[in-house]
Chains A and B, each alone.
Chain A
């Protein structure tokens, strides 16, 4: 029997005018899974993600979240129970780090003291020093710190599902790697279902359980890295060639660690 589904897309279509941004996509995301969505710019990744918490509405097909058709769920309630990390960070510039993180619990009417405690916990979880960061405005943070706050905010209302739109984009490779690993640990520790959009196939292979490949609004392929490598689609193979080439070049250029 297949695992319980966190999110399920069934023949979902979304157009903007004459442009079909998402074109008949069917995709199941199992409970507890870490899925990466990979694809070129404009391939429909963000659109697919926004459909799940009804930031936009589908034109056709069905989307279910934890078994319920999203059309039957109040969109505001739906968004409050799904964590969302925005492509551009999306932190509110007029609110402190603590107020940004605590916003969804506040909207849910949780008491201030409980929220304050939760904010401290989350700052620790995303490894930001709470004394020095709590009361800062987003403008006073580095790019990497902002991404961490974005992740903390998405987790604040204890969601079971987290959607992340290029959460680690625009970061230096070291920070990006560290943040990715940190999130992978959180995902496991909290038992989350995580969906992450990325341009970077290497990142997808390293972090996710499964990878979905988008192109021109269509879902080209989905599966583990190993499954994808046996795909017959040229574009998918092309995407996988890049990390392979990188590994080969690195192996020839870098002395093996542990060698005397």
Chain B
């Protein structure tokens, strides 16, 4: 199929109003806030070298924090702030989505604005500032009539740089729950949908370019004192903002929000649950690409209404337990514990998505490795790869302790690239997921865990505290409980990892429902 006639372009386009609108809103709000803070600071410190130095140093430090980390940091920070305001003033706010994204991006926009603002204002010929004084200007008039206009080109260059940075970095706000053009990129990367990745990149690049040009128009208008040009530029930006407000107003905010983490299985399951709710006449949307630690907090705070998580994950990360129990017992205890936080564990879907150490079948046979105990004897000559969180998870510590595993090298990888990497011999072992369809595709084997170091990972359906008594919701989800076995989920995941029109999460969710709906 040709790249241009691929129906996924159409699917991508159908999300554009939502993704682009949210992207523009969060970027421009962040930019406006960044400007509102940085420009006065640049002006206030223009004749004060000491605070100016400190300010620039701080802004530079912020800039060295990677965009994704900065965004991720703001989420727990705001959660903390929200709990403080709740305790002190009885009001709380959502630490999810727009607010943390906007604040982090605003912070990110400050350096170029500050640096260029300060450079621009300090680069003015002192003779001109003296002349401004000499013709009878007050300090304020000198600033407005002489210094700012003269610094304008340099300042605008900074603002334009900030705008491009913010629009680009906003694609990383997806994992903290802010819908953005990054949704295309995250979803595309996870489900091997290169059309989505390309579409997301193109859209955000075009948006950055458009905003840059509009700002350039305003600048040239100000510089040449052309009301027409600056008016056109401002109208362009205003139109962009107005256009993004329209879709929001049309959408009801009362619908259910289905959360999903950043991997294909979660995209498929959230689409499946959304479809089920809609089939029951409920309005529902999926909010996907959420960070693994964000999603549980978002559920607790009611920013999302339901999601699928895994028993072992919550056991270790939320309950901080290191002991291991059989599948059913662990779920039962988890249910009681979660109920204390008012979270409903509705039930298991039927399959497990556990971490497992995975090797190519042939390689394992050649080395005579069947279990992790066998592996431990060879580990010192082998390399292992895991996803971004695996090596800091308690499971890894438990595995190392139980089997005395010591690998030659360990690497972190994008989950979808791990399987190909181990199949091609680039790494020797990976920490894969048992429900991943690629295990069968690449002819890999999962190694047995005779010492039960890894806890069970049943896929479980969770409801937010505010949905605890929602019978309509529970009824709509009931048909999914216990119906999805590991073979079916593997096949669904394999389909989702394809790179064609039938591999979109929506399409796979429909296929999955056809298989399990009749059971």
Contact = CB atoms under 8 A, between A and B. Distances in A.
A86 B132 CA distance: 11
B138 interface: yes
Contacts of B227: none
B135 A104 contact: yes
A93 B128 CA distance: 9
A41 to B, nearest CB: 17
A53 B137 contact: no
B131 interface: yes
Given A90-B128, A93-B150, A107-B141, A55 B135 contact: no
A76 B127 contact: no
B137 A86 contact: no
Find the residue from B131, B134, B137, B146 having the highest chain A CB count within 10 A.
Answer: B134
A84 B135 CA distance: 7
A118 interface: no
B133 A86 contact: no
A103 interface: yes
Contacts of A88: 127
B127 A90 contact: yes
Given A86-B130, A86-B131, A107-B141, A94 B149 contact: yes
Interface string B141-163: 10001100110000000000000
Contact of A79 (B133, B145, B146): B133
Contacts of B133: 55, 79
Given A88-B127, A90-B128, A53 B150 contact: no
Interface residues of A, number: 21
Contacts of B138: 76
Contact of B135 (A77, A87, A93, A107): A107
A94 B150 contact: yes
B469 interface: no
Contacts of A91: 131
Contacts of A103: 135, 137, 145
Nearest to B146: A92
Nearest to B152: A94
Q: Classify the secondary structure of B's interface with A.
A: helix
B281 interface: no
B326 interface: no
A90 B136 contact: no
Contacts of B150: 92-94
Nearest to A54: B133
Interface in A165-210: none
A86 B146 contact: no
A84 B146 contact: no
Contacts of A94: 146, 149-150, 223
Nearest to A154: B135
B136 A86 contact: no
Contacts of A76: 136-138
Nearest to B150: A94
Contacts of A146: none
Contacts of B127: 86-88, 90
Interface string A100-112: 0001100110000
A148 interface: no
A108 B326 CA distance: 87
A91 B130 CA distance: 11
B136 A55 contact: no
Interface in A54-112: 55, 76-77, 79-80, 84, 86-88, 90-94, 103-104, 107-108
A196 to B, nearest CB: 16
Interface in B155-197: none
A90 B131 contact: yes
Nearest to B149: A94
A84 B141 contact: no
B134 A92 contact: no
A76 B138 CA distance: 6
A153 interface: yes
28 contacts: A53-B134, A55-B133, A55-B134, A76-B136, A76-B138, A77-B136, A79-B134, A79-B135, A79-B136, A84-B134, A86-B131, A87-B127, A88-B127, A90-B128, A90-B130, A92-B128, A92-B132, A92-B150, A94-B146, A94-B149, A94-B150, A94-B223, A103-B135, A103-B145, A104-B135, A107-B141, A153-B135, A157-B136
